[in-house]
A = this chain, B = another copy of it.
């Protein structure tokens, strides 16, 4: 056997995924060709198929890895007070999404370009994330820390609000990440209260 270490595939593979991530985020899955991705990597189009079964798998893997990263990084807040757990969630969501704008963009924009099976899997992971937030809200309602008529709606409302940040927030702007976290946490805290 030859070439198990030092092989180019260890380098080219990540580069393919990086290029695809950036190009899909910038121009959209349907508008990006395999040849464009290959050119970005500095390789011919055929070589991409050493690293992905097809274009669809490339998109799906990017989205799935993003969701798995998200679920793995999500802090376990069991045991704390609902208000504290909610604050942890809000600050985590903002910081995590801020660090990977391209992956976030793809995860929210390219759902319709997934095959039905792949879509179902991504939706399953997304629901896990939503459930984590909803559990906090339900616990808060149960202990009268929060006043919410429908925790499912509130979950979706808060996530939409927080995720919207990625469309405009850039670190170079007038606001720091901390500023944004503080501002949003202030609004979220009030919105779930009495």
Contacts and interface: CB of A to CB of B under 8 A. Distances in A.
Interface size class of A (residues with CB under 8 A): 35 or more
A28 B113 contact: yes
**Copies per complex of this chain:** 2
Given A30-B30, A113-B28, A164 B153 contact: no
Interface of A: 26-28, 30-31, 109, 112-113, 148-150, 153-154, 156-161, 163-165, 167-168, 175, 180, 182-184, 186-188, 190-194
A159 B157 CA distance: 10
Q: Main SS of the interface on chain A?
A: helix
Contacts of A168: 156
Nearest to A189: B191
A163 B161 CA distance: 9
Nearest to A154: B187
A14 to B, nearest CB: 25
